Structure 1
Amino acid sequence: MLLAIPKEEILERQTTFINRLHEHQIDCAILFSVTDIFYLTGFHFTPTERPMGLLIDSTGKTHMFVPALEHEHTEMNAYVNHVHSYPEYPGIRHPMEYLKDVLAECHFTGKTVGIDSDGYGSPMGYRGPRVSDILSANFVSVGGWIQEARLIKSPNEIELIKESLRWSHLALRLLQSYSKPGLDAIEIEGRASQEASLTMLKALGQNFKAYSGYGNSAFAVFSGQVGPMSALPHAITQSITLKKGDTLGTGSDAAVYGYHSELERTMFVQEASREQERYFNLMVEAQNVAFRTIRAGIPASKVEEEVQRYFQDHGVTHLTRHHTGHSLGLLMHEAPFFDLGDQTILEPGMIFTVEPGIYVEGLGGFRHSETILVTEKGMEMLTYYPRDMESLICG
């Protein structure tokens, strides 16, 4: 299996984007989004205080603008025509002044220029001018164009997500096997994630690239969702000792060439009470309602409507806190969403999570998450970890 998106597919993505620019009478484009640049060029980077961007000129040529320390990295990995680099900090001249020179050299001045944002941005200390401060042009927003292109996954993308799931399953299986009373959650997470990652690296070999910001290529976590804390859908990883009867919120992922999947299971330490079993079964059936609803041609909101109707019929709407699911791929959360306000029409090739949750204060949270593929007649379940309570008792 090819553990990457082939060059031909990446260049095809560029052609599609450039053709759309021409259709909208846009001469050039400047993109700063890390994810969108990776999608269009195959070049992945971490956005720091050093500005980096993708330029597409009026002839359709592609240019990467990067700091000098990234020049070789860019030439080795980016499918672009030209790489322009600027001197590294510290320096008197701001990097955006160097970008101004490159834009002039590439004849962006006075043109209609598509931008995803009016300047570079990063939470890592970047400060600098906007693009509109350094370039005289007619600016048009192309924000969201690449996100739209990413909605429907290609066969290569689907295979990478399936490969991600193979290792997600291993990581979660290890997490479950190591979850016993008296052990610390962080210790269990670390052991399972490291073992899964090492096994994954040995199996996939030297051609494997995670392109992930995580410390491990594959990981499984509780994220603080242990015992009563599992009633918080987005708790934070912390040191908690597992004890008998705890509800566990577990999840796993493995990055493969930048692509992600999602696998979550509600588990229990050694035993579960009748009350835990009741909410567990309600959650599982809510998932089944979603599965029966999903198919190409319906709005995403329809899935949420049916799940909400089920929750209302069983009197647990007040215990729900989030939508039924979301798309994913290069990011863990992408649009569209299974939510009442999302009218996006489902199409074959879209990949979603299905994760309706029930959260009971003092008892715990109950949520499985499946990764599914939308098909013409319904959906294909890509996750295959057991969903029944008996299989999810730990220790």
Structure 2
Amino acid sequence: MVTSIAITPEEHRARCSALLERLHADELSGVVLFDPYYVLYYAGFAFAPTERPIAFILSAEGERALVVPRLEVEHAESKAMFDRVEHYLEYPGDPRSEVALESTLSALGVTGKLGADQDGYPWILGYRGPTLSELSGATVVRVAAQIEEQMAVKSVTEIALIRESCRWGNLAHRLLQRYTSTGATETEVAQRASNEATFAMLDAIGEIYRAQSFFMSGAHAGYRGQIGRNSAIPHALAGNIVFQEGDVLVTGASAPVWGYLSELERTMVIGEPTAEQERMFEHMKA
């Protein structure tokens, strides 16, 4: 019986070691990561970024620390990945979050020259603070390119999670096709297909399923408003459009599984395509 499909703590540790090995030639004292996807990749800690800064610190010796607001302490401490969890009370507040970050950097010896995905926590949702280089007085080297290169090479477990995502995204898309008909609305069809696929997924793997995504949970399929004339607009937004005969449809389907996503997109037509639609479709494939 399968009891877990998640990335193991051992794999997270191996990723940290591999990152340090990649950066060894740069003689960095450590790495600081703020991006939630990077933190999830190396530490298995999932969070939704807000005005409360969160930072993952990896020293050159391999010590791992997480700086979080007080309300995230128990969440962080439940992860076996961290050697230490430091916190501040709240943002805005006193002492500020930057004090906790600065003291943690000093305690781990991450000074002088360090790597980071970006020079400080991003200014989002009202957060305003100094850059990492201003805060630490260190020379900050951007390491996002090395991180992306490492993330691009998938492990066996990662591929299995992506395939699991494909399975349920595909089911949601099949149901989307089944329920799409003239007179129905984009919203009702997408919601019905997504809900049914999600319930089927939970029946199958519910006990071992986690989305670990701050965008969505469960299987989803929809049109994002790319229906009829709007199908020419890339990355549009859903508009509760009513389906009509001859509409060109652009779909999208996925399902987050332990932080991993697949993407299924199709171009379809309601009813029989016209000769011009067939010509343009073949032109697209060419």
TM range (shorter): over 0.9
**Corresponding residue of 1:79:** 81
The corresponding residue for 1:125 is 126
| Residue of structure 1 in register with 2:225 after alignment | 224
| Aligned match of 2:213 | 212
Alignment of 1:134-213 (within 5 A): 134-213=135-214
Q: What do residues 9-60 of structure 1 show as CA deviations (whole Å, max 9, x unaligned)?
A: 1111111112223332112221111111111111111110001111122422
- Given that residues 47 and 122 in structure 1 are in contact (C-alpha distance below 8 angstroms), is that contact kept between their aligned partners in structure 2? no
SS at match of 1:83: strand
Q: Structure 1 residues 58 and 249 mapped into 2: Cα distance closer, same or farther (>3 Å)?
A: closer
Alpha-carbon distance between aligned partners in 2 of 1:10 and 1:108, rounded to the nearest angstrom:
20
2:35 to 33, 36, 53: 33
- Residues 292-311 of structure 1 mapped to structure 2, 5 A cutoff: none
Runs of 4+ in structure 1 deviating by more than 3 angstroms, as ranges, are: none
Residue 54 (structure 1) aligned with residue 56 (structure 2)? yes
In structure 2, C-alpha distance between the alignment counterparts of 1:85 and 1:24, rounded to whole Å? 29
Deviations 1:122-145 (A, max 9, x none): 532211111122212233222222
Distance 2:143 2:124 in 1: 22
Alignment of 1:259-338 (within 5 A): 259-284=260-285, 286=286
Gaps of 5+ in 2: none
Paired-residue identity, %: 42
Paired position in structure 1 for 2:11: 9
Gaps of 5+ in 1: 287-395
For 1:184, give the aligned amino acid. Answer: T
Letter in 2 for 1:253: S
Alignment correspondent of 1:329: none
61, 64, 67: which is aligned to 1:65?
67
Task: Give the deviation of 1:230 after TM superposition.
Answer: 0.3
Amino acid at match of 2:76: T
Alpha-carbon distance in structure 2 between the residues aligned to 1:89 and 1:32: 16
Q: Which has the higher strand share?
A: 1
| Structure 1 range deviating more: 70-79 or 259-268 | 70-79
Which structure: greater helix fraction? 2
| Alpha-carbon distance between aligned partners in 2 of 1:77 and 1:269, rounded to the nearest angstrom | 49
Query: 2:9, 2:80 within 8 Å by CA — same for their partners in 1?
Result: no
What does residue 102 of structure 1 align with? 104
Preserved contact between residue 216 and residue 256 of structure 2 (Cα < 8 Å):
no
- What amino acid sits opposite 1:48 in the alignment? T
How well do the aligned residues superpose, as a CA RMSD in angstroms? Answer: 1.6
Classify the secondary structure of the residue corresponding to 1:267. Answer: strand
Matched, 1:43 2:27: no
Residue by residue over 1:100-150, the C-alpha shift from the partner in whole angstroms, topping out at 9 and shown as x without a partner, is: 2222222334x3211221110153221111112221223322222211101
